[in-house]
């Protein structure tokens, strides 16, 4: 039996998913369960009525303290396809903009009987803080917290890889870009290693690679793109934020593309059937050129579609745990 702790509050006492905050500490079996459930939700998009009743009567609030398009939209669609009622809080006009604390916001929304909070915040650890203070029957899902974690993005990437490549245990996966500041890269490395990928590589300029990344995550580090992606089965490109240029971590967009931008010529060193991925949004001409982004080996738009199914899986699992807890509480009072 897995006991819940203050340090890792994601699971209930029976090992079921209560919150989804980070990949770290989760078992391979639980990650596979998420992928299997997501597989079952893919077909919902092809139905005449794109809904299943798993979260009917539940209220899910999207609290996005950072700008987002893909993540917020796919979470909203996922919740609606589960038949939940969705509340989108406009942070710019909410009480938090007037000085209300995050904890007060949580308490007020819980008083409105919100069952789940999908949270994106610029500060690392925000979702862990909320999970520790949430009502026992509420769930917190991390939609990205600072530079720490973006677990649903990692899982939709794992889902996409699994659909194209199958067995994780035989793969070579390269992650290219700003490894140091990327919550996506951190979550991807954890997920890939947990799922048994033997060869995970990170490729970046020295200024964008954290120290001791090899020891911390069990990956290999490279500073040459062609060599780093040689014979890779999957290449995941990361978005380069323009503030890195302004902070002198990179000389210029042109220089970055010259050394680390993915082109068809550079991609030739990877395996012929390589799968090319990107969490979006793409900076064309910086991380990759349009020929690669729109090419036959790119699955970038498929990642967006898969995000809905994976987020449906995560939310339905957390809601299922809520229902089990409520049922157990009711039986205790019989």
- Find out whether 105 is annotated in a ligand binding site: no
How far is the C-alpha of 56 from the C-alpha of 85, rounded, in Å? Answer: 8
> Is the dihedral angle over the CA atoms 146, 148, 152, 154 positive or is it negative?
positive
- Find out whether 239 is annotated in a ligand binding site: yes
DSSP state for residue 137 in the 8-state scheme: T
Residue 182 contacts residue 243 (beta carbons within 8 Å): no
Half-sphere CA count of 224, side-chain side, radius 13 A: 4
Distances (CA, A) of 56 to 14, 51, 59, 68: 24, 10, 9, 26
Residue 240 contacts residue 250 (beta carbons within 8 Å): yes
- Find out whether 281 is annotated in a ligand binding site: yes
How far is the C-alpha of 136 from the C-alpha of 55, rounded, in Å? Answer: 18
Taking Cα atoms as reference points, which of 46, 77, 44, 76 lies closest to residue 61? 76
- Find out whether 71 is annotated in a ligand binding site: yes
Taking Cα atoms as reference points, which of 164, 149, 119 lies closest to residue 315? 119
Distances (CA, A) of 130 to 138, 296, 317, 318: 10, 42, 19, 15
How far is the C-alpha of 70 from the C-alpha of 75, rounded, in Å? Answer: 8
DSSP state for residue 168 in the 8-state scheme: G
The helix/strand/coil state of 89 is: strand
- Find out whether 70 is annotated in a ligand binding site: yes
- Find out whether 15 is annotated in a ligand binding site: no
Binding positions for L-aspartate: 98, 183, 239
Binding positions for carbamoyl phosphate: 70-71, 120, 150, 153, 280-281
Binding positions: 70-71, 98, 120, 150, 153, 183, 239, 280-281
């Amino acid at each position: 039996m897995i006991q819940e702790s203050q340090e890792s509050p994601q699971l209930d006492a029976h090992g079921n998913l209560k919150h989804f905050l980070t990949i770290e500490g989760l078992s391979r079996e639980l990650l596979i369960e998420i992928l299997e459930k997501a597989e079952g939700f893919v077909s919902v998009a092809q139905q005449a009525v794109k809904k299943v009743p798993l979260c009917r009567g539940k209220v899910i609030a999207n609290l996005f303290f950072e700008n987002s398009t893909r993540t917020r939209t796919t979470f909203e669609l996922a919740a609606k396809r589960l038949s939940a009622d969705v509340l989108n809080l406009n942070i710019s006009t909410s009480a938090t903009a007037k000085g209300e604390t995050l904890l007060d916001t949580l308490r007020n929304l819980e008083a409105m009987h919100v069952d789940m909070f999908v949270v994106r915040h610029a500060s690392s650890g925000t979702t862990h803080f909320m999970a520790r203070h949430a009502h026992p029957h509420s769930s917190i899902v991390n939609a990205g917290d600072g530079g720490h974690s973006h677990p649903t993005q990692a899982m939709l990437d794992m889902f996409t890889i699994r659909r194209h490549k199958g067995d994780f245990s035989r793969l070579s996966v390269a992650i290219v870009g700003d490894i140091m500041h990327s919550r996506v890269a951190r979550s991807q490395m954890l997920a890939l290693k947990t799922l048994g990928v033997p060869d995970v590589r990170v490729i970046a300029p020295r200024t964008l690679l954290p120290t001791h990344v090899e020891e911390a995550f069990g990956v290999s580090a490279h500073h040459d793109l062609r060599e780093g992606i040689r014979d890779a089965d999957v290449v995941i490109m990361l978005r380069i934020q323009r503030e890195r240029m302004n902070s002198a971590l990179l000389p210029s967009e042109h220089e970055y593309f010259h050394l680390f931008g993915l082109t068809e010529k550079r991609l030739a060193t990877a395996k012929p059937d390589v799968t090319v991925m990107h969490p979006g949004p793409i900076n064309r001409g910086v991380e990759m050129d349009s020929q690669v982004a729109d090419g036959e080996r790119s699955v970038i738009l498929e990642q967006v579609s898969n995000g809905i199914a994976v987020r449906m899986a995560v939310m339905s699992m957390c809601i299922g745990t809520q229902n089990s807890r409520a049922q157990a509480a009711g039986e205790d009072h019989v």
